[in-house]
């Protein structure tokens, strides 16, 4: 049961990052244009799926709360402020998405809220992961840091990196969903975004090595981890070639592969810890009776149904978005 819920947590987290990642990325790119027709098309490209994508964040939190309550409590203690900021940003972008449709004189405000909320939520998520990689101050299995310990040089660097990554996902989604000017803009963004992400990864690696992060020891203890960066590098090469090949599905798929390689690297680097390097999976798991009780409801019914309806939504709303479509 413990490893079933670890796998479920990995799945929901990865799906959230990939699915909400591209619509957060579209939100970030939304702020880079003032063309109302392009903005309408951007919103039309994500309107059928953006709110459903956040279901995976809810499921991730629910699994942590029920199956790994110690981790839930520790993460809230360490990241209470950034999580509040993230939730506020997600609420703001959701409100802005709806209000701008009817607004006239105040549309600029909701446009700022949508782009700004997307940027802030992306940055906070990246900063949180960066803080985990750097290592939380723990004492006897409990968080021993302060309210601002999550905010540092490496966490800010990670926040910026995730904003770039989500922007690349967003550009890939726009290329896949549009066949006009927005598609061409997406193609033009792919190469510089890919180069910037590779630079971010190189700087992060150098920073972590220079600061002697404990996680770096895992790289030398587990040399097979190099497989994941190789996969990411191959996907990056395919991305750079993508604009010449004009295969509209390729940028999104290759960006997703980069995220998968990064996720796999972190997951195996952390294993068997959930809070590196203080709390293991077995230490964090709820009693077997609780995990089994959750399995018969959430594991056997809720999770499969959510997967099925997510797949159905993406199938129904597949294809290109017409340039004249309004997002409502």
At 229 the pLDDT is 86
Bond before 272 cis per omega within 30 degrees: yes
HSE at residue 140, side-chain half, CA atoms within 13 A, is 0
Confidence of residue 328 (pLDDT cuts 50, 70, 90): low
Confidence of residue 307 (pLDDT cuts 50, 70, 90): very high
Residue among 21, 57, 22, 56 at smallest CA distance from 42:
22
Strand partners for 139: 142
Confidence of residue 327 (pLDDT cuts 50, 70, 90): low
* 213 compared with 56, residue with greater pLDDT: 56
Q: Exposed (0-12), middle (13-18) or buried (19+): which is 308, by Cβ within 10 Å?
A: exposed
Whether the Cβ atoms of residue 166 and residue 133 lie closer than 8 Å to each other: no
Q: Is the pLDDT of residue 46 over 60?
A: yes
DSSP state of 35: -
In whole numbers, what is the pLDDT of the chain averaged over residues? 90
| Residue in the structure block whose two tokens are 């021993």 | 144
Q: What's the pLDDT tens digit per position in 2-43? A: 999 999 999 999 999 999 999 999 999 999 988 888 899 999
Tell me the C-alpha to C-alpha distance, in Å, between residue 303 and each of 9, 12, 128: 11, 9, 25
Confidence of residue 240 (pLDDT cuts 50, 70, 90): confident
Least confident stretch, 155-159, 199-203, 324-328: 324-328
* 217 compared with 312, residue with greater pLDDT: 312
Confidence of residue 244 (pLDDT cuts 50, 70, 90): confident
Calculate what percentage of the chain has a pLDDT beyond 70.
98
Q: What's the pLDDT tens digit per position in 145-154? A: 888 888 988 9
- Among left, alpha and beta (phi > 0; psi -120 to 50; other), residue 204 is alpha
Whether the Cβ atoms of residue 9 and residue 63 lie closer than 8 Å to each other: yes
Alpha carbons 77 and 81: distance in angstroms, whole number: 9
Alpha carbons 246 and 260: distance in angstroms, whole number: 23
Alpha carbons 273 and 282: distance in angstroms, whole number: 9
């Amino acid at each position: 049961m413990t490893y079933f819920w670890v796998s479920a947590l990995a799945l929901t987290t990865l799906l959230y990052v990939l699915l909400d990642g591209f619509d957060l990325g579209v939100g970030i790119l939304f702020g880079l244009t003032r063309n109302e027709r392009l903005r309408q098309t951007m919103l039309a490209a994500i309107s059928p799926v953006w709110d459903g994508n956040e279901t995976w964040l809810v499921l991730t939190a629910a699994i942590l709360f029920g199956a790994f309550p110690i981790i839930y409590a520790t993460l809230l203690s360490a990241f209470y402020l950034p999580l509040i900021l993230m939730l506020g940003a997600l609420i703001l972008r959701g409100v802005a998405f709806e209000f701008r449709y009817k607004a006239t004189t105040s549309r600029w405000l909701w446009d700022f809220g949508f782009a700004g909320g997307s940027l802030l939520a992306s940055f906070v998520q990246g900063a949180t992961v960066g803080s985990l990689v750097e290592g939380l101050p723990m004492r006897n299995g409990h968080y021993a840091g302060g309210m601002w310990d999550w905010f540092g040089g490496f966490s800010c660097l990670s926040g910026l990196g995730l904003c770039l990554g989500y922007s690349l996902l967003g550009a890939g989604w726009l290329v896949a969903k549009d066949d006009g000017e927005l598609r061409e803009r997406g193609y033009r963004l792919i190469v510089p975004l890919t180069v910037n992400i590779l630079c971010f990864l190189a700087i992060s690696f150098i920073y972590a090595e220079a600061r002697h992060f404990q996680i770096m020891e895992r790289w030398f203890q587990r040399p097979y981890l190099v497989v994941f960066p190789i996969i990411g590098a191959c996907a990056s090469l395919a991305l750079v070639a993508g604009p010449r090949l004009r295969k509209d599905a390729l940028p999104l798929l290759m960006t997703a592969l980069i995220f998968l390689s990064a996720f796999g690297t972190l997951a195996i680097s952390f294993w068997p810890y959930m809070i590196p390097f203080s709390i293991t999976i077995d230490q964090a798991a709820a009693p077997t009776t609780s995990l089994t009780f959750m399995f018969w409801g959430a594991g056997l019914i809720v999770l499969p149904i959510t997967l099925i309806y997510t797949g159905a939504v993406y199938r129904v709303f597949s294809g290109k978005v017409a340039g004249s479509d309004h997002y409502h």
